[in-house]
Amino acid sequence: MTRHITHTCQGTCSRQIDIELDEQGTILSVAFAGGCHGNTQGIAALVRGMRAEEAAERLGGIDCRGKGTSCPDQLSRALREAL
């Protein structure tokens, strides 16, 4: 069974992240709405097939321009909420 998660971003250029996880917690897909298109596509491609726990750990705390968060950090937060 696939889980669909929608996360509303706070403090970033991206507005929303849509995530699909399989029943083992592996990331099937990630799609960002807004943000730097190339960067968000790159993040999505890198985490595809990765365990959600590992992706959340690696991406958590990344800062963008002193905002206290970033698109990768928002993905980390969404994954942690889902777990």
pLDDT one-digit tens code per residue, 72-83 = 999 999 999 999
| Segment 5-23, tens digit of pLDDT | 999 999 999 999 999 999 9
Q: Please give the class, per CATH, of domain 3-82.
A: alpha beta
pTM of the entire predicted model = 0.95
Task: List Cα–Cα distances, 69 to 3, 11, 21, 74, 78, in angstroms.
Answer: 25, 7, 23, 7, 12
What is the domain partition of the chain in residue ranges?
3-82
SS3 state at 10: coil
